[in-house]
Chains A and B, each alone.
Chain A
């Protein structure tokens, strides 16, 4: 009965969304805003090979700051919200193959993550992606070595430092009079090289570190409150 009702509601909702769908005809060109971003003059001004990164970190940098804040918030909330219920925990022993493979893979995955965020302004990827990859290494670690000590403190400090650097760089732009989050506070460098695009790689690196640390923290918290029921 309830399902029928929900079905009916969804049908009605479809009729709400249908005008959106039916008026969609694909795009034949860029919008005015994207054209601005893609103009030669502005490409040079930002000097980032990856235009998406340019948009994410510079043009819409405030969103990204907010985004980082959201992850930070989530981590903070989970940190004070999830509490250990009991210490009693029985874990199955991992196989040697798994442990060995993990030991081998974890550094490589971490490296990959770091690569992704350092090259965020050149190739697909960036801080969030890189951070997520790093966090996946952490998951692997948790799975392979469930009893390993995890330095909460370190990750939290990393989080805070990265965040402060990000905000500091952003504010620095404003203080210099260039604008909050302007990437031009650092030398723009040569287009297409690692040291280009001004502050973008720096920011993205810290974002990457921060995201990696935050996700790791969250995962650790999830892990640590599990208990036998």
Chain B
């Protein structure tokens, strides 16, 4: 193999040779440069392959002497990975910047080449002074590249950069020379052996070296200059700085950290944490895309510093974790910077223009999800491993800091993405595609998926992940150009087949949920046939959600579970955000989901701690602060079930979603949270669990959620929001049921799970279909539609009777079980709240059916048609389910009872034929239904006998104070009908939760707004920041 020293030969030789290329032959120069970078890449790449295949790392000596007497370089596995990465991104970046470099001339091309070469040496060198020299090369080259495409801003940024790096390198030099004075060597390994940190002056020298490297990484808050060059320079250069330079500098830090000794680990981690959190918080206020990316880069480097600081804790996993995060950052950030250069929009709000070319949106989404750590990207697996290990070793505050910082990052990245997906883009000029610019972006995006896949294969838990659903998603994504009919059929067949293949392997508990997910999924997909055209982007994301859902069910280990959970979140986010006015709700949905996911992550980490396994069964025996662990898991799952306090995303998200998406996210998706809660509660040990306060609190939360959800539903004018609030309430019942931790409670809970799936799917589908016909969500704009759509009316009528719990329909089963459970458990007050909530539910249900279907038909609806047949098919299938459940409840409740009895054997229902007994009473579902139906039929018959030939009267044939009203708008009482109730209960409708979250948000944004003023833009103050940073670290680390 060729000695890596020839990177220098190639790089420098190429750069010097460029001097001979005639000024006119601009292409020749650029091509020569790309060839040189490619050659360096091939060289390092061949080393990478060789080292992976077991060759040993090579020391490169110069001048024919051994270190420490001469400078040596090292090509080990890490070095080969990183140099290859640098050269790879250098090549792509060179291609991206092709035109700019060409136009700037040979000199600029030389600078770019030397920049890449310098980074290679920085990674490989083992001599600290040599490191200093090549760092200078890199920073001078950077100062040159900043002004590649000149503007006043870039020159200013470049000057500030030079000022700051000048000071930093001076400090570094001072540290180096004193290190030499104390140890007599400049070799990093020699310095490591000399342990200069032990001396008083030596420790200061070490501090100066370490701090200057940390400052080179643009640590918060002495990093205003860094942000300026990200913003001021060409986006292609920003990509280089963020991907290549940061990668190399990070490795330098890791080299020097070994030299500094393990006592520095803590400080590096601490500075990293401050940087990660601080930078991400300040970014909240940022609206300039490139500067935003700068903040994010700095944050990510902070995270990487934390990982480095915990290398002793992470042990052999350190490279896996660090590379996972590093490479996600490397690809994604390069991609985003490049996109910024293509889109050419400064204000993130104007990124809506990216939607004009949908595949760019896909690229942007890929990068953003990779940055935040969603599957299937490497950062997901790395973050998982990191959190698991940190929790395992009890470093909880660190985990909290990491997750908080990540959360903030998610806020601004998703806000940006939200603008891209939903912002106004009418008046923004479209951008042009240049092939040399799109190529690198495409390559890094693909690389993210590929590296993600291979990262997952690295650990046993990750290798167990079933990728088939994801491949199916990918396939349907490729087929996205096909018409709806074909894609829908493929999707339905795919899901049905998949369900058929996996259902025998599932236990009964999982089968119940999987059936809801898959059968429900297929039924809601059928409604998709009603759509025309290609419906771009719908099927990949819908299937992504189902892929996540089924992965949750199938999960054998916690990693798989979390993987599925995040996939499901991502898919549902895209589904929700498809709605017309759903942007703000999509954002809040995502933020709550991400927050919830982090709670889960911590909880799962605590489960891992002390058990050392990822098997799903660890949830059943958490030993490390179990109260917290179970609590966090439950909180995580509650974000998905939209418990009070975590619910503010739901009404908007479900209400504004498309007609067939609302049932997916409401009837189906919410059950994923329930499934999680069920697993957690099982894990807590069922009846005699040792954590009585958790279910108790959960029970109250459920009851209050039920009450507030229902009450809010009453005051909605928007039909879909009404149903959305209703879902919050219904999920409150479910949570309360499971919280009771008794057989009856759980059976009630399960009964509700099944029922809510059935009737909420019916209601959302029907209302959604009606909305498609009448083109409004506002109930007061509808009315009298029973005349135009009797089938829809019937469906809603059955749906609301089932929901309200009025016998004989299936909803009563849940109610009956509930009150028996309540009495058994002794949770009377909660029970009373539930009952009251039921009464309130009645109001909104009546309102739903009355204001839409009854009352006065509006003039503009006189010719609307019955809802689409494609909606009616799933609706009536579900109704059949409700009817069967209603008439033969034992068919459903007995199997559910068997499932529940696995964990709650006591207090089961006893069955005598169709009659269920508890110790408090009994209920004969079939008999009751028969009795009522019989009575109903008899009475109907009597009426029919005595009312022969009743003729239908006209709409306005009503007595109205002696006059006949003529306008349906004024006669249809629909708007604000529950004013009386509002006057009595307005106190309970104050959106305290929303206010609270707004306060939190305002607080963070205000803080960011104030703190970021330290970045005054004055280069001088940046120097002061740097000096202060050094002083503060000195006093903190070494002390007075």
CA distance A179 to B60 in the complex (A): 8
Q: How far is the CB of A196 from chain B (nearest CB, A)?
A: 17
Chain A residue at minimum C-beta to C-beta distance from B1031: A12
Segment at the interface with A among B107-115, B796-804, B930-938, B1007-1015: B107-115
Does A216 touch B at the CB level, under 8 Å? no
CB within 8 A of A60: which of B60, B129, B199, B1028?
A: B129
CA distance A73 to B182 in the complex (A): 33
CB within 8 A of A58: which of B63, B185, B201, B1027?
A: B63
CA distance A67 to B121 in the complex (A): 13
Residues of A within 8 A of B63 (CB): 58-62, 173, 179-183
Does B46 touch A at the CB level, under 8 Å? no
Chain A residue at minimum C-beta to C-beta distance from B115: A73
CB within 8 A of A157: which of B8, B19, B136, B174?
A: B19
Interface string of B111-150 (1 = CB under 8 A from A): 1001000100100010101100110110011011001000
Q: Which of A24, A36, A59, A178 has the most C-beta atoms of chain B within 10 angstroms of its own C-beta?
A: A59
Chain B residue at minimum C-beta to C-beta distance from A171: B9
Chain A residue at minimum C-beta to C-beta distance from B21: A160
Residues of B within 8 A of A59 (CB): 63, 65, 69-71
In the complex, the answer to whether B184 meets A73 with C-beta atoms within 8 Å is: no
Does A37 touch B at the CB level, under 8 Å? yes
CB within 8 A of B110: which of A6, A76, A179?
A: A76
User: Do A31 and B19 form a contact, CB below 8 Å, given A65-B8, A79-B107?
Assistant: no
Does B5 touch A at the CB level, under 8 Å? yes
Segment at the interface with B among A14-22, A86-94, A103-111, A128-136: A14-22
Interface magnitude class on chain B: 35 or more
CA distance A163 to B15 in the complex (A): 9
In the complex, the answer to whether B140 meets A77 with C-beta atoms within 8 Å is: yes
In the complex, the answer to whether B64 meets A73 with C-beta atoms within 8 Å is: no
Q: How far is the CB of A65 from chain B (nearest CB, A)?
A: 7
Residues of B within 8 A of A74 (CB): 140
CA distance A106 to B875 in the complex (A): 98
CB within 8 A of B129: which of A63, A76, A167, A170?
A: A63
Residues of A within 8 A of B20 (CB): 157, 160
CB within 8 A of A20: which of B111, B136, B178?
A: B178
CA distance A143 to B136 in the complex (A): 32
CB within 8 A of A63: which of B71, B178, B199, B1027?
A: B71
CB within 8 A of A179: which of B6, B16, B64, B202?
A: B64
Q: Which of B8, B62, B68, B107 has the most C-beta atoms of chain A within 10 angstroms of its own C-beta?
A: B62
Interface string of A48-82 (1 = CB under 8 A from B): 00000000001111110111011011101101110
Residues of A within 8 A of B65 (CB): 58-59, 179
Does B1034 touch A at the CB level, under 8 Å? yes
In the complex, the answer to whether A33 meets B141 with C-beta atoms within 8 Å is: no
Q: Which of B60, B111, B129, B205 has the most C-beta atoms of chain A within 10 angstroms of its own C-beta?
A: B111
Does A225 touch B at the CB level, under 8 Å? no
In the complex, the answer to whether A170 meets B185 with C-beta atoms within 8 Å is: no
CA distance A77 to B162 in the complex (A): 13
In the complex, the answer to whether B12 meets A69 with C-beta atoms within 8 Å is: yes
User: Do A80 and B108 form a contact, CB below 8 Å, given A65-B8, A179-B63?
Assistant: yes
Interface string of B813-827 (1 = CB under 8 A from A): 000000000000000
Query: Which residues of A, 1-43, contact B by the 8 Å Cβ criterion?
Result: 5-6, 9, 12-13, 15-17, 19-20, 22-24, 27, 31-34, 36-37
Q: Which of A33, A58, A76 has the most C-beta atoms of chain B within 10 angstroms of its own C-beta?
A: A76
Q: How far is the CB of A52 from chain B (nearest CB, A)?
A: 15
Q: Which of B8, B129, B140, B1028 has the most C-beta atoms of chain A within 10 angstroms of its own C-beta?
A: B8
Q: How far is the CB of B659 from chain A (nearest CB, A)?
A: 58
Does B13 touch A at the CB level, under 8 Å? yes
CA distance A72 to B9 in the complex (A): 15
In the complex, the answer to whether A167 meets B8 with C-beta atoms within 8 Å is: yes
In the complex, the answer to whether A178 meets B12 with C-beta atoms within 8 Å is: no
Residues of B within 8 A of A62 (CB): 8, 62-63, 71, 125, 127, 130, 133
Residues of B within 8 A of A174 (CB): 3, 5-6, 9
Does B869 touch A at the CB level, under 8 Å? no
Residues of B within 8 A of A139 (CB): none
CA distance A107 to B298 in the complex (A): 53
CA distance A6 to B180 in the complex (A): 30
User: Do A160 and B16 form a contact, CB below 8 Å, given A180-B63, A182-B63?
Assistant: yes
CA distance A60 to B67 in the complex (A): 11
Q: How far is the CB of A26 from chain B (nearest CB, A)?
A: 10
CB within 8 A of B184: which of A5, A32, A160, A168?
A: A32
Residues of A within 8 A of B62 (CB): 61-62, 179-182
CA distance A59 to B60 in the complex (A): 14
User: Do A170 and B71 form a contact, CB below 8 Å, given A13-B1031, A70-B137, A80-B108?
Assistant: no
Does B587 touch A at the CB level, under 8 Å? no
Chain B residue at minimum C-beta to C-beta distance from A165: B16
User: Do A73 and B144 form a contact, CB below 8 Å, given A6-B1024, A13-B1027, A168-B13?
Assistant: yes
CA distance A12 to B562 in the complex (A): 49
Interface string of B161-202 (1 = CB under 8 A from A): 000000000000010001011101110000000000001111
Q: How far is the CB of B671 from chain A (nearest CB, A)?
A: 60
Residues of B within 8 A of A15 (CB): 1034, 1040
Chain B residue at minimum C-beta to C-beta distance from A35: B184
Chain B residue at minimum C-beta to C-beta distance from A27: B181
Residues of A within 8 A of B125 (CB): 62
Query: Which residues of A, 146-195, contact B by the 8 Å Cβ criterion?
Result: 156-157, 159-160, 163-164, 167-168, 170-171, 173-174, 178-184
In the complex, the answer to whether B184 meets A9 with C-beta atoms within 8 Å is: no
Residues of A within 8 A of B71 (CB): 59-63
In the complex, the answer to whether B137 meets A73 with C-beta atoms within 8 Å is: yes
In the complex, the answer to whether B64 meets A31 with C-beta atoms within 8 Å is: no
CA distance A164 to B140 in the complex (A): 21
In the complex, the answer to whether B181 meets A24 with C-beta atoms within 8 Å is: yes
Residues of A within 8 A of B6 (CB): 171, 174
Q: How far is the CB of B751 from chain A (nearest CB, A)?
A: 69
In the complex, the answer to whether B1027 meets A67 with C-beta atoms within 8 Å is: no
Chain B residue at minimum C-beta to C-beta distance from A174: B5
Does B204 touch A at the CB level, under 8 Å? yes
CA distance A69 to B140 in the complex (A): 10
In the complex, the answer to whether A60 meets B70 with C-beta atoms within 8 Å is: yes
Residues of A within 8 A of B685 (CB): none
Does B61 touch A at the CB level, under 8 Å? yes
Does B410 touch A at the CB level, under 8 Å? no
Residues of B within 8 A of A65 (CB): 8, 12
In the complex, the answer to whether B19 meets A70 with C-beta atoms within 8 Å is: no
In the complex, the answer to whether A9 meets B130 with C-beta atoms within 8 Å is: no
Chain B residue at minimum C-beta to C-beta distance from A83: B150
User: Do A167 and B16 form a contact, CB below 8 Å, given A73-B141, A180-B5?
Assistant: yes
Q: Which of B204, B1028, B1030, B1038 has the most C-beta atoms of chain A within 10 angstroms of its own C-beta?
A: B204
Residues of A within 8 A of B111 (CB): 73, 76-77, 80
Chain A residue at minimum C-beta to C-beta distance from B205: A20
Does B42 touch A at the CB level, under 8 Å? no
Query: Which residues of B, 999-1040, contact A by the 8 Å Cβ criterion?
Result: 1024, 1027-1028, 1030-1031, 1034, 1038, 1040
Residues of A within 8 A of B9 (CB): 167, 170-171, 174
Interface string of B941-975 (1 = CB under 8 A from A): 00000000000000000000000000000000000
Does B626 touch A at the CB level, under 8 Å? no
Q: How far is the CB of A225 from chain B (nearest CB, A)?
A: 14
| Besides the known contacts A66-B134, A179-B61, 16 further A-B residue pairs in the complex with CB atoms under 8 A apart | A6-B1024, A17-B174, A23-B201, A33-B184, A60-B129, A61-B63, A62-B62, A65-B8, A70-B136, A76-B110, A77-B111, A77-B140, A77-B141, A167-B8, A179-B64, A182-B64
Q: What are 18 A-B contacts with C-beta separation under 8 Å?
A: A23-B199, A31-B180, A58-B70, A60-B70, A62-B71, A63-B133, A66-B121, A73-B110, A76-B110, A77-B140, A77-B144, A80-B105, A80-B144, A157-B20, A160-B17, A167-B9, A179-B61, A181-B62
* CB-CB nearest 10 A-B residue pairs: A23-B201, A160-B19, A31-B184, A163-B16, A77-B144, A179-B64, A182-B64, A66-B133, A76-B107, A171-B9
